[in-house]
Amino acid sequence: MNTSPPVRRQPGSPRLNTVSAERTNDASTQSQYQPYKEAAWGFINHWYPALFSEEIPEGHVEGIQICGVQIVLRRVHGKVLALKDQCVHRGVRLSAKPLCFNDKTITCWYHGFTYDLASGALTTIVGNPDDPLIGTTGLTTYPVEEIAGMVFVFVREDQYPDADVPPLAHDLPVRFPTSSERFPHPLWPAAPSLLDPAAVGLGIHRTGESNWRIACENGFDNAHILVHQDNTIVQALNWVLPLGIRPVSDDCITLIEDEDGPKGLMQWLFSDRWEAILENKELDVKVEGLNGRFYRTSCVLPGVLMVENWPEEHIVQYEWYVPITDDTYEYWEVLVKVCPTPAAREKFSYRFERVYKPLCLHGFNDCDLYAREAMQEFYADGTGWDNEQLVATDVSAITWRKVASRYNRGIAKPGKGVEGATKTSSIRLRRVAQGRKPGYFVEKIKD
Ligand code: FES
Ligand SMILES: [Fe+2]
């Protein structure tokens, strides 16, 4: 009989890794990311992707939810406009049953409160046109930018001033070749950007059932590539994916904190600052594969991942983990390539449909989706942040939490009167019972 005491989970030592004391995840470090721990509903006053351009054709009205804020979008004369999707009268969503009498307004289908699309002002009430409330109130508007086939919305608090709205570029990854000197990349060509002329963004978005933060941290977690070993594309192309990549230098991560640009971090993967682990002797596990697949990850606020040189040269993968509620997020996976001619565009689109979408954005990244959902119960009540036992490779998440805490433009409050704010609402439960998942889009009322 074995008489040695059983091994049980012990309270961890606060040391994060052996590189340097600066990387210790002690109480003082944790206090530096307290704001992040409070950001269950996301960071507000940031730019987020809302829809692909093709999802909102001329005249169309769509309703979505970001950071617990319901937003209605309408395209008029080519331009997309966005308003808070919560009628000031009794709080219903305008997008649930779109009613537009002209190209300047949107009307609530319930009692006819009518709002100017550009200013959000309450301009009339269909059956009560002289009411003194008219002209005194309205809905918050959200700035919109449309680039490379994507519609972005600046999701803000009601009182956030127009004058303080930053350019979209401040909430997108760093650009190349302007950043090439600072972040040299000898192994691959300069990563394209959505902001480049002739950039094309092709991708998908879908709802994941976990908090956005654990989804985001998975995106640049250098130990998690283990989950991808069996993926079809990895096996089919004989890619060498390390078992993990561990930090071996104090400057393994550089903060991105220019005053006039995005805020986040860049990881120096596949350089001498990180060591790719190809073997675990204890387990007799070795990486097989012939073709190096070099990439680099960075992440900037409000949670935008950039994977350079992925899944092939001249392509970059962007990901967003857009908070919907505190337990759902919209997972955006977008591949960006500069396509200067219609033929180049056609070719990219063909390869997207045949290879990238099925084998990478699904296939490969489906593993990420289930790994994030597997963490959800542990973090759901907020205690996971205190109970996790982190190791050296988690330096990436710790650094991100700190930089995000420091530079976010606001912590979203728990959604008020929105879907998902009350977990046990009878409507939510009915939907689930009927096999309809809580999600990103408004549920339209059928006549
Ligand atoms: S709830 Fe919108 S008009 Fe009454
Ligand atoms: Fe992954």
- Which one has a higher pLDDT value, 8 or 413? 413
pLDDT band at residue 220 under the 50/70/90 scheme: very high
Q: Is the CB of 347 under 6 A from ligand 1?
A: no
Determine the distance separating the centroid of ligand 1 and the alpha carbon of 93, expressed in angstroms: 9
Going from the C-alpha of 414 to that of each of 43, 251, 289, 328, 398, the distances in angstroms are: 11, 36, 47, 13, 24
The answer, yes or no, to whether residue 3 has pLDDT greater than 80, is no
Average pLDDT over residues 44-58: 98
3-state secondary structure 118-135: CCCEEEEECCCCCCCCCC
Determine the distance separating the centroid of ligand 2 and the alpha carbon of 80, expressed in angstroms: 33
- Which one has a higher pLDDT value, 392 or 49? 49
Closest residue by Cα to atom 4, ligand 1, is: 111
- The single-letter code of the amino acid at 145 is E
Are 82 and 71 contacting, i.e. CB atoms less than 8 angstroms apart?
yes
Q: How far apart are CA 309 and CA 297, in angstroms?
A: 10
As a whole-number percent, the residues of the chain with pLDDT over 70 amount to: 96
- CA 113 to ligand 1: nearest atom: 3
Residues in the chain: 447
Q: Would you state the pLDDT for residue 292?
A: 86
The answer, yes or no, to whether residue 19 has pLDDT greater than 60, is no
For 4-14, write each residue's pLDDT tens digit: 777 777 766 65
Q: With b meaning 16 or more CB within 10 Å and e meaning fewer, what string describes 318-327?
A: bbbbbbbbbb
Q: Would you state the pLDDT for residue 26?
A: 78
Structure tokens at 413: 């409050």
- Which one has a higher pLDDT value, 403 or 186? 403
Residue ranges of domains in the chain: 46-144, 169-378+385-407
Q: Is the CB of 359 under 6 A from ligand 1?
A: no
Q: Is the CB of 243 under 6 A from ligand 1?
A: no
Q: Is the CB of 87 under 6 A from ligand 1?
A: yes
Are 211 and 376 contacting, i.e. CB atoms less than 8 angstroms apart?
yes
Q: How far apart are CA 304 and CA 173, in angstroms?
A: 7
For 89-101, write each residue's pLDDT tens digit: 999 999 999 999 9
Structure tokens at 445: 């009322």
Determine the distance separating the centroid of ligand 2 and the alpha carbon of 366, expressed in angstroms: 8
Superfamily per CATH, domain 169-378+385-407: Naphthalene 1,2-dioxygenase Alpha Subunit; Chain A, domain 1 (3.90.380.10)
- Which one has a higher pLDDT value, 447 or 180? 180
For 321-333, write each residue's pLDDT tens digit: 999 999 999 999 9
Q: How far apart are CA 200 and CA 89, in angstroms?
A: 41
| 169-378+385-407 and 46-144 share a CATH fold | no
The answer, yes or no, to whether residue 170 has pLDDT greater than 90, is yes
Nearest one of 205, 244, 224 to 372, comparing CA atoms: 224
Q: Is the CB of 90 under 6 A from ligand 1?
A: yes
What CATH architecture applies to the domain 46-144? Single Sheet (2.20)
Checking DSSP bridges between strand 79-84 and strand 69-76, what pairing results, if any? antiparallel
Average pLDDT over residues 107-136: 98
Checking DSSP bridges between strand 239-240 and strand 291-292, what pairing results, if any? parallel
Q: How far apart are CA 430 and CA 421, in angstroms?
A: 15
- Which one has a higher pLDDT value, 232 or 16? 232
Are 206 and 52 contacting, i.e. CB atoms less than 8 angstroms apart?
no
- Which mutation among 84, 97, 113 tests ligand 1's pocket best, with the greatest number of atoms within 8 A of CB? 113
Average pLDDT, the chain: 94
Ligand nearest to the CA of 297: 2
Average pLDDT over residues 286-314: 93
The answer, yes or no, to whether residue 17 has pLDDT greater than 60, is no
Structure tokens at 350: 């063909």
